A and B are shown apart, each in its own frame.
Chain A
Amino acid sequence: MKMGVSLLMAAAAMLGLSGAASAQQTLEQVRSRGNLNCQVGLPTPGFYALAANGTWSGMDVDMCRAVAAAIFNDPSKVQYQSVTSAVRFTSLANGESDMLSRTTTWTAVRDGQLGLEFAGVNFYDGQGFVVPRSSGITSARQLDGATVCVLTGTTTELNLADYFRANNMRFTAVTNENVNVLVETYLGGGCDAYTNDKSGLAARRSAFPTPNDHVILPETISKEPLGPVVRHGDNNWGDIVRWVLFGMIEAEEMGVSSANVTQMLQSPNPGIKRLLGTEGNVGQGMGLPADFMVRVLRHVGNYGEVYERNVGANTPIGIPRERSLNALWTNGGILYPMPFR
C-alpha cells in the first residue's frame, strides 16, 4: 500500500513538471530570464571560438550578441551553450536553447521535419576537402579508395557519400561527433583527407601546428547555406532573428557601421532613418523598440565589420570576401537583405 501511494505521488509530481512551454513566447521567456540561451558548437576558430579567458567570439557568436543587443541593449547577456552537432536540434527543439547559431546548413528535411525554422543565411559555404601537401593530391577526383574523416550527423556526411557515389569512387569514412577527435585523427594520419565546409576547413587549418603543410582541394562538392535557426512555431521570434540579420546586411549596404551609427542618427536618408528607427517603427510588430538596429550596430556592428573581424582576409582564417558569394549583391555577391520597411 505504501508503494502504491508513493507511486501516485510520483505520478502527481510528474504531472506538475510536464507542462509544455507554449511556442509563442520565446521573447517573453528571454526577457524574464534576463539572458539569451544561444547554442554554438564545439569551439571552432572564426565562427565560435573560445578564448583562454572564457569569452566567445566569431561570426556566429556575433549573431547571438546582435540578438541580445536588440533585446537587452547589452550584447553580453548571452548564455552560450556549446553542444556537439549530433544533439543540436534536439537541444533546440526541447527548449534548452532559444536559438542556434553554429554553421548549420539550411535543408528541406531539417526545415520541414525537425520542428525547426531557418531564420536566414549568414554565410554561404560549400563542402571541400583538406589533404596533407605531401600526399601530392591536387583534386578530389584523385580520392578514390581514400579514407576520409567526417563529422557524423552532418550534411557533410551525406554529401560525401553522394559525391563518391556520383563519381563512382569508393571511400572509407572515419566518423566521430567530436571535431577535435577527427582533426587529431587526420593529423595523426588516420585518414587521407578531412572534409567539412570550406570555411570550417580554413578555420581548422589555421589552428593546425603547420597550416602550410595542408592544402584545401579546389572542388566544392555541395551548397552549404549556413545560418541561425529557431524553433518552429514561434513566428515572432523567428522574425526577430531574421531581421536582426537582414538589418546588419542592410546597414553595410547603406554604409552604417558601429563607428558612424551615432552621426547617422541625423542622416536625412529615409532608408537609414527607417533602419535606425528615427522614422517609422519596424521593431514594433516584433516586440522590439524602434531603435533596435541602433543597439545592434553600436554593440556588434554591420555584417561587413563582423565578417572582417572574424574570418576576413586579415585574420588567421583568411577567407577573402571580394567576389565571393558572401559579398553584398551590389558587389557581385549574393547577400541580398529584404527591404527594411
Chain B
Amino acid sequence: MSQSSAPPTAAIRRPATTPMRLGAFVNDATVRAIFYQAVTFAAVVGLIWYLVSNTIANMATRGMSAGFDFLDVSAGFNIAFTLIPYREGDSYLRVFQVGIANTLLVAVIGIVFASALGLVVGLARLSTNWLIRTLARWYVEVLRNTPLLLQIIAWYFGVFNLLPRPRESIALGGFMWLNNRGAYFPAPVPQDGFETVLGALALAVGAAIAVSVWARRRLRETGRAFPAGLVGFALVAGVPLLVYLALGAPLGWNWPALRGFNFVGGFSVPPAFCALVVALSIYTSCFIAEIVRAGIQSVGHGQTEAARALGVKPSRTMRFIILPQAMRVIIPPLISQYLNLTKNSSLAIAIGFPDLVSVWMNTSLNQSGRAIPIVAMTMGFYCVVSLIVSFALNAYNRRILLRER
C-alpha cells in the first residue's frame, strides 16, 4: 500500500547499537513504512466493519430480514430448464445450485463453440482467397460492433421464437426436433453393464496418454516419429466400442414423442438456451478470431520461410512452428474473452433463460426479499469462477512461455 516509502538505505538506517531517540525513530524509513501500513490496514478494516454494521443496522430499522436462514426454505416456483434435478418443493439453496449448473453449462458450451468458430474465422481472415477473407472480415466487423444484448434478443425473437409450433416441428436427421418450445433430442438411458463401458473408456484414455508420452520421448531420443494421434484415437474410440458391443449394447434411448401440447420425454433445451448459446458464441468468436489472427501475424514471416527452406511441410509449419509461437500471444487475451463470455451469460435474464442471475438474483431475491445475502452469493460465484478460469489459463500460459536457455 505505502509504495512511496523509500527503500531503507544505509544513510537512514542507524546501527542497532546506537540508543534511539524519538526524532530518529520518527525519521526511520522502516518504522514509518510499518506505521503507514498499519494505519492503512486499520482504515480498510474499519471501513469494511463500518459498512457491514451500518447495513445490518439499517436493515434492522427497516424491518428487513438479513442472514442466510432462508436457504432452507422451500422456493415453490418452477424452473423451466434444470441440468440437475429440481422440484418446486426444493429449497432456495437448491435453486442456487440449479442456477450455477445452468450458468456453467452455457459458459462451457459457449466457450467451446466460440473457440472453434473463432479459430476458423481467424484463419479465414488470413486466407489468400479474396472471397473467404472478405466474408470473414464482414462477419467480424458487423457482429463485433453491435451490442450483445441486442443480438441475444434478436436471436430469441427473430429466430427461435419464430420456429414452427410443436405439431409442425422441424425434424433434423430423424433424431432431433426443433420447434418454438425448444430443441428435443433422445436422452441416453444407461443400463446394466454400462459402467464397464465407461471403465473401458477411462482405460483407453489412459493408454492413449501413455502412448503419446512414449512417442514424444522416442521422437526426442531417436528422431523417429510415431503416429501417436492416430493410435490414440483408435484406442479411445475402438476399445469402448468393442466392450459396448461385447456386452450387448447396454444403453437405451429415451426418444421424445409428440403428446398433448408438446414433445414428452428425451432431453430438451428451451429456445432461450439456444438463443443465448448462439448469440454468445458468435459474438465472442469475433473477438477470438481477431486474437487468433493477431497471434499468427505476430510470428515473423521469416519463420515460415526458414521452415520452407528446410523442407518442412506447410501443415507441419503451422502446427509445430507458427502456432506454438502464436499461442504465447493468443493466450492472455483469450483468457479475458472466456471470462467475458462467462460473465456475459448473465444477459440471459433478458430472454428468461434460468441462469444464476435470472433464477437467483432475480426470482429468488424477489420471492424471498433477501437482497444482500443473495447479491453477495452471486458476486462470490462469478468471482470464484473467474479466478479459477484465470488461474488455469495463466498456468497454461506460463508453461508455453518462451523458455530461454
Contacts and interface: CB of A to CB of B under 8 A. Distances in A.
A22 B264 CA distance: 55
Contact of A189 (B88, B165, B264): B165
B138 to A, nearest CB: 30
Given A115-B62, A145-B261, A174 B1 contact: no
B47 A93 contact: no
B77 A158 contact: yes
A152 B352 contact: yes
Contact of B1 (A3, A18, A88, A184): A3
B362 A20 contact: no
Interface in A103-147: 109-110, 113-115, 144-147
Interface string A1-28: 1111001101100110010101100000
A173 B80 contact: yes
Interface string B1-34: 1111100000000000000000000000000000
A173 B2 contact: no
B360 to A, nearest CB: 11
Contacts of A8: 39, 43
A65 B164 CA distance: 46
Interface residues of A, number: 60
A338 interface: no
Given A115-B63, A153-B362, A165-B88, A173 B264 contact: no
Contacts of A153: 362-363, 365-367
B401 to A, nearest CB: 31
B363 A192 contact: no
B44 A147 contact: no
A184 B157 contact: yes
A92 B294 CA distance: 50
Nearest to B165: A189
B351 interface: yes
Interface string B74-92: 0011111000000011000
Contacts of A191: 181
A23 B270 CA distance: 45
Contacts of A18: 51, 54
Contact of B366 (A14, A20, A89): A89
B356 to A, nearest CB: 14
B180 A145 contact: no
A324 interface: no
B387 interface: no
Contacts of B58: 20
Given A1-B5, A3-B1, A153-B362, A147 B76 contact: no
Given A1-B36, A157-B77, A174-B352, A23 B362 contact: no
A222 interface: no
A146 to B, nearest CB: 5
B161 to A, nearest CB: 5
B369 A113 contact: yes
B196 interface: no
Given A2-B4, A174-B270, A152 B358 contact: yes
Contacts of A14: 47, 50-51
A157 B366 CA distance: 11
A166 to B, nearest CB: 11
A175 B264 contact: no
A157 B62 contact: no
B36 A4 contact: yes
Contact of A145 (B1, B44, B259): B259
Interface in A192-206: 192
Contacts of B371: 90
Contacts of B54: 18, 20
B362 to A, nearest CB: 5
Contacts of B332: none
Nearest to B153: A181
A287 interface: no
Contacts of B57: 20
B181 A11 contact: no
A113 B366 contact: no
Contact of A190 (B39, B64, B180, B358): B180
A85 B88 contact: no
B397 interface: no
A177 B351 CA distance: 9
Nearest to A10: B47
Given A8-B43, A176-B351, A93 B50 contact: no
Nearest to A4: B40
A213 to B, nearest CB: 15
B162 interface: yes
B88 to A, nearest CB: 4
Given A1-B36, A114-B64, A188 B157 contact: yes
A147 B261 contact: yes
A115 B64 contact: yes
Nearest to B164: A189
A161 to B, nearest CB: 4
Contacts of A115: 59, 62-64, 369
Given A4-B43, A152-B366, A174 B80 contact: yes
Contacts of A185: 161, 352
Given A1-B5, A175-B354, A7 B369 contact: no
B262 interface: yes
Interface of B: 1-5, 36, 39-40, 43-44, 46-47, 50-51, 54, 57-59, 61-65, 76-80, 88-89, 157, 161-162, 165, 180-181, 259-262, 264, 270-272, 349-352, 354, 358, 362-363, 365-369, 371
13 contacts: A3-B1, A7-B44, A11-B50, A23-B61, A87-B366, A157-B363, A157-B367, A158-B367, A189-B161, A189-B180, A190-B181, A232-B63, A233-B62
Give me the 7 closest cross-chain CB pairs, A-B, nearest first.
A153-B366, A114-B369, A176-B352, A115-B64, A232-B63, A4-B40, A145-B260
Interface of A: 1-4, 7-8, 10-11, 14-15, 18, 20, 22-23, 85-90, 93, 109-110, 113-115, 144-147, 152-154, 157-158, 160-162, 164-165, 171-178, 181-182, 184-185, 188-192, 231-233
Given A93-B64, A152-B77, A174-B270, 12 more contacts: A11-B43, A113-B368, A147-B261, A152-B352, A152-B362, A153-B366, A154-B366, A161-B78, A173-B77, A174-B352, A190-B181, A191-B181
